């Protein structure tokens, strides 16, 4: 076989992940609070970035980006021409203006006490010995956020080198504190403590808690009634008493690790018959180019090290500003498209929420599906119906007999409404619920009803039945 050498020209397309593209992708998927922190980090790294001065115009950012893309051999930019207009109108400021901050009333608001703070306060006002006080402080430090003791008394006695009876004594004192049930080692002990503190004297209730909690959770009332030698209706009455107790007595107290603030990235306001999307730009600072370094760049020799450094920093600053603006525009388009699709939900409520996919929004906006996925990740929007995560509006659904479709959240809401109106002594089975939905034009199987019911946290008909 003869082998020959030859030259051949061909055109190919490939995606090159430049640092600027990576930055744009990163900024797009940041939430409002994360973007604010990201900008603060960039302000520390790049001296040309500044806050509070005249913002560079979007047209200038885009023109500069196009100029850089068109330049293949000569990367030099005429900074004198670029800054000509702004240099004449904006005075040079060497230092950033410090804005005097007023004192807000929120600075004087005390923090909410944690469960440990609440228990420590009660322990220190109790009349106990120094040894019991020391043991009690150690026990309180080992109570989890739900109010349960996360260590055994034997381990405490070994660590503190005290007698286990003293540990039990300290624990008994803590179990008398508020909230009722705190310091318990398991659910059974927690419920028994609350029964004693509330003075509940219903017959057989302690025996029910000690021996039949699992049967009670599975609604095996007949088995419990036979074991306790009482009627099924009495078992139902005892259960009604138990559900008034708190299985997690510590959850009503603040936990510093669980604090989560949600700042909506956009606000949807109804003006007339239309819904207007307003981007929340109040959290993130507005970036600009520092006037001092801008004038220094104009006056320096283009071949000097200072000019080269400032030029590279300016490129980075302008790309950051452009990426933030591109994020704002993309997010606005995505939210506006979602609002147009889900207008019936905003008008009438959850039942009218429509099925929606990211591909549909991507086609409407004119971007790739992955861009929509990044744009909605961790983002929230404030609507007249409340604050929702953008992913909430993307729901799967079922096709109706009339050619329309209904979202899964709407079906869950319908199932909840049907169950709310059922006879508690003769609850509806999943098949009956499926038949009711079919009469409303929603073709759904019994298994799908069971799936949606469980996702909504609704018990089965056997467990909902009252006697």
| Highest mean pLDDT (candidates 107-111, 304-308, 311-315, 402-406) | 311-315
Lowest mean pLDDT among 61-70, 154-163, 296-305: 61-70
CA-to-CA distance for 438 and 436, rounded, in angstroms? 5
The DSSP annotation for 6-42 comes to -------------HHHHHHHHHHT--HHHHHHHHHHH
Phi-psi region of 343 (alpha: psi -120 to 50; beta: other; left: phi over 0): alpha
Query: In the predicted model, is pLDDT for residue 184 greater than 60?
Result: yes
Instruction: Compute CA 336 distance to the chain's CA centroid, rounded to the nearest angstrom.
Output: 21
Residue 267: φ, ψ to 5°: -125, 130
The enclosing H or E element of 51 equals strand 49-51
Q: What is the mean pLDDT of residues 111-126?
A: 88
Residue 399: φ, ψ to 5°: -80, 140
CA-to-CA distance for 384 and 267, rounded, in angstroms? 9
Minimal CA–CA distance to 377: which of 42, 40, 41, 27? 27
Residue 233: which residues within 8 A CB-CB, separation 6 or more? 467
Residue 254 pLDDT: 60
Residue 268 β-bridge partners: 277
Q: Strands 380-383, 266-271: parallel, antiparallel or unpaired by DSSP?
A: parallel
- Residue 162 tokens read as 């005290």
CB of 135 closer than 8 Å to CB of 156: yes
CB of 49 closer than 8 Å to CB of 42: yes
Phi-psi region of 22 (alpha: psi -120 to 50; beta: other; left: phi over 0): alpha
Residue 258 pLDDT: 58
Minimal CA–CA distance to 357: which of 307, 322, 407? 407
Residue 107 pLDDT: 52
CA-to-CA distance for 11 and 175, rounded, in angstroms? 77
CA-to-CA distance for 313 and 46, rounded, in angstroms? 6
Residue 210 pLDDT: 93
The enclosing H or E element of 165 equals helix 164-174
The answer to whether the predicted template modeling score (pTM) of the entire model surpasses 0.85 is no
Q: How is the chain split among helix, strand and coil, in percent rounded to 5?
A: 55, 10, 40
Average pLDDT of the chain? 83
More confident residue, 257 or 149: 149
CB of 20 closer than 8 Å to CB of 322: no
Residue 400 β-bridge partners: 442
Residue 94 pLDDT: 40
Reduced to 3 states (helix: H, G, I; strand: E, B; else coil), residue 391 is helix
Instruction: Supply the DSSP symbol for 392.
Output: G
Q: Strands 266-271, 274-279: parallel, antiparallel or unpaired by DSSP?
A: antiparallel
What are the pLDDT digits (tens) for 70-104? 544 444 445 455 444 444 444 444 444 444 455 55
């Amino acid at each position: 076989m003869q082998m020959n050498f030859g030259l051949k020209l061909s055109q190919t397309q490939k995606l090159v992940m430049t640092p600027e593209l990576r930055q744009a992708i990163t900024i797009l998927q940041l939430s409002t609070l994360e973007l604010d922190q990201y900008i603060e980090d960039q302000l520390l790294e790049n001296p040309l970035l500044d806050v509070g001065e005249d913002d560079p115009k979007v047209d200038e950012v885009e023109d500069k980006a196009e100029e850089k893309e068109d330049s293949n051999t000569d990367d030099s930019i005429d900074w004198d021409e670029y800054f000509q207009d702004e240099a004449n109108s904006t005075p040079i400021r060497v230092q950033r203006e410090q804005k005097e901050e007023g004192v807000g009333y929120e600075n004087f608001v005390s923090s909410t006490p944690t469960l440990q703070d609440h228990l420590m306060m009660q322990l220190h006002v109790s009349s106990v010995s120094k040894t019991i006080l020391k043991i009690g402080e150690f026990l309180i430090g080992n109570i989890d956020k739900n109010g349960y003791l996360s260590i055994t008394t034997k381990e405490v006695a070994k660590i503190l080198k005290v007698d286990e009876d003293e540990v039990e004594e300290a624990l008994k004192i803590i179990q008398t504190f508020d909230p009722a049930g705190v310091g318990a080692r398991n659910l059974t002990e927690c419920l028994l403590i609350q029964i004693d503190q509330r003075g509940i004297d219903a017959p057989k209730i302690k025996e029910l808690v000690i021996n039949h909690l699992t049967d009670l959770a599975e609604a095996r009332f007949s088995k419990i009634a036979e074991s306790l030698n009482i009627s099924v209706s009495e078992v139902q009455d005892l259960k009604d008493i138990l559900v008034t107790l708190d299985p997690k007595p510590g959850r009503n107290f603040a936990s510093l690790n669980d604090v989560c603030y949600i700042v909506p990235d956009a606000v949807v306001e109804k003006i007339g018959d239309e819904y207007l999307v307003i981007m929340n730009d109040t959290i993130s600072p507005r970036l600009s180019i520092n006037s001092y370094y801008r004038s220094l760049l104009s006056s320096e020799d283009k071949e000097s090290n200072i000019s080269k450094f400032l030029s590279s920093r300016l490129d980075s600053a302008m790309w950051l500003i452009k990426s933030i603006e591109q994020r704002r525009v993309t997010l606005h388009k995505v939210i506006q498209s979602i609002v147009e699709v889900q207008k019936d939900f905003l008008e009438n409520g959850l039942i009218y929420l429509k099925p929606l996919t990211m591909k549909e929004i991507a086609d409407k906006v004119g971007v790739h599906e992955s861009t929509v996925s990044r744009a909605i990740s961790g983002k929230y929007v404030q609507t007249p119906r409340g604050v929702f995560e953008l992913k909430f509006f993307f729901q799967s659904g079922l096709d109706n007999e009339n050619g329309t479709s209904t979202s899964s959240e709407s079906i869950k809401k319908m199932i909840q409404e049907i169950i709310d109106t059922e006879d508690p002594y003769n609850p509806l089975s999943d098949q009956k619920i499926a038949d009711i939905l079919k009469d409303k034009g929603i073709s759904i199987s019994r298994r799908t009803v069971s799936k949606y019911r469980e996702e909504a946290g609704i018990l089965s008909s056997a467990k909902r039945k009252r006697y």
